[in-house]
A and B are shown apart, each in its own frame.
Chain A
Amino acid sequence: MWLFEFIPQTLFYLLFLASGIGYAISLFLPNPILQKQVKITSVIALGISIYLLGMLYVNNLWKERAEKLQQQVVELEAKSTTTNTEIKERVVTKTQIVKQRGDDVIKYVDREIVKINNCVVPQEFTQAHNRAAEQPK
Chain B
Amino acid sequence: MKLLAIALILTLTGCTTVVPVTAKFPEAPGLQSQTRCPQLQKLSDNPQLSDVAKTITVNYTEYYTCAVKTDAWIEWYAKQKIIFEGLGK
Interface residues of A, Cβ cutoff 8 Å to B:
1-4, 55, 58-59, 62, 65-66, 69-70, 72-73, 76-77, 79-81, 83-84, 87-88, 90-92, 94-95, 98-99, 101-102, 105-106, 109-110, 113-114, 116-117, 119, 121, 123, 125-126, 129-130, 133-135
Measured in the bound complex, the distance between the Cα atoms of B23 and A80 in whole Å is: 11
- B50 A87 Cβ-Cβ under 8 A: no
- A1 B19 Cβ-Cβ under 8 A: no
Which residues of the other chain, B, contact A125 by a CB distance below 8 angstroms?
Answer: 52
Measured in the bound complex, the distance between the Cα atoms of B80 and A87 in whole Å is: 11
- Known A77-B24, A84-B27: A117·B68 in contact at CB below 8 Å: no
Measured in the bound complex, the distance between the Cα atoms of B14 and A69 in whole Å is: 23
Interface residues of B, Cβ cutoff 8 Å to A:
10-11, 13-17, 19-24, 26-30, 32-33, 39-43, 45-50, 52-61, 64-65, 68-69, 71-72, 75-76, 79-80, 83-84, 86-88
Which residues of the other chain, A, contact B11 by a CB distance below 8 angstroms?
Answer: 3
**List of 6 A-B pairs having minimum Cβ-Cβ separation, nearest first:** A3-B14, A102-B61, A88-B30, A133-B40, A87-B29, A130-B42
Measured in the bound complex, the distance between the Cα atoms of B86 and A114 in whole Å is: 58
